[in-house]
Amino acid sequence: MTLTFDHHSCNCDIKTNAPANLSFTPAAQTTTVLNSKLNWLRAGVLGANDGIVSTAGIVMGVSGAAVDSHALFAAGVAGMVAGALSMAAGEYVSVSTQRDTEKAAVLAQRNFFRRDPYGAQQRLASLIAGRGISKPLAWKMSEELTKKDPVHALTQYEYGIDANDLTNPWHAAWASMISFVLGALIPFIAMIFSPSGWAIGLTVISVSVALAITGAVSAWLGGAPIKQATMRNIVWGNLAMWGTYGIGLLVAFF
């Protein structure tokens, strides 16, 4: 739902000329600009990473317990299905909460403009000036923006929210679920379909390569150092695999 304000249906008196004694303090941008276009990609990368690590842990642990191939196959499939549904549900709930917050912010700006259009224009001008624009030009920009869509302009400059493109929880849920399954297939296929003598080694190698890719991509998305993030992802993923494998060995021993 798009929450915007119909400027033409409002009888508000918008000041079109900057006051001679215009004085406002340039407002600092207090929030990080949201990029909803990357929301599904972020969910996808995290989903794939979780799918790789969790399924690798399951198949390695069950393999360590020395169960037969049918039990290993069933455990792997059950882990994939449960993990994918859990990831989808978690992403949907999380992003839905974010969307509710965005809708509340848009409504607050719409009410602000209805209640005090001149004050809203001043606030918009101060936000624009806070980005390094001179006060007279910031005022002129606020005039132009409030003529077209004041609510969109206010939410964009105040919160970094595009009132016409709120985050979509379904996009994040589907991206997370599908990517989880794709990631989970890597250790599952390596363990199930490899020769018994090579299964563990091939699983560790394939999982390490996959973790290197997801670690590098997640670091790139977040603007973090790629090498450090990649190595951290590989190390902790392998610790999870070998930890569950060790537990499986203990279970088989007792």
Is position 52 within any domain?
yes
Tens digit of each residue's pLDDT (9 = 90 or more) over 154-203: 888 888 777 777 878 888 889 889 999 999 999 999 988 888 788 888 98
Burial class from Cβ neighbours inside 10 Å (0-12, 13-18, 19+) for residue 119 reads exposed
Q: pLDDT band for position 97 (50/70/90)?
A: very high
Rounded average pLDDT over 138-144? 85
The closest of 177, 183, 202 to 192, measured between CA atoms, is 202
The answer to whether residue 104 sits within a structural domain is: yes
Look-up of token digits 């600092």: 28
Pairwise pLDDT comparison (3 vs 219), residue with the higher score: 219
Give pLDDT tens digits for 41-62: 777 788 888 899 899 888 888 8
> How many domains is the chain partitioned into structurally?
1
Letter string b/e over residues 120-130, b meaning 16 or more CB atoms within 10 A of that residue's CB: bbbbbbbbbbb
Planar angle of CA 217, 221, 225, nearest 5 degrees = 75
Q: Is residue 139 part of a domain?
A: no
pLDDT above 50 (res 13): no
List, in order, residues 6 or more apart from 121 with CB less than 8 Å away.
14, 15, 142, 143, 146, 150
Q: Is the pLDDT of residue 221 over 80?
A: no
User: Has residue 22 got a pLDDT over 60?
Assistant: no
Q: Which domain holds residue 81?
A: 34-112+169-253
Domain membership of residue 124 (yes or no) is no
Quote the CA–CA distance of 87 and 85 in Å, as a whole number: 5
Quote the pLDDT of residue 31. Answer: 40
**Domain contains 154:** no
Please check whether residue 83 lies inside any domain of the structure. yes
- Give the mean model confidence (pLDDT) for residues 23-33: 47
To the nearest 10°, the Cα dihedral for 168, 173, 174, 175?
90
CB 5 within 8 A of CB 155: no
Looking at the domain assignment, is residue 207 inside a domain?
yes
Q: What percent of the chain has pLDDT over 70?
A: 84
Q: What is the pLDDT of residue 39?
A: 64
Q: Residue length, the chain?
A: 254
For residue 82, is pLDDT > 70? Answer: yes
- Domain annotation covers residue 195: yes
- Residues 207/63, Cβ–Cβ less than 8 Å: no
**Of 74 and 2, the one with more pLDDT:** 74
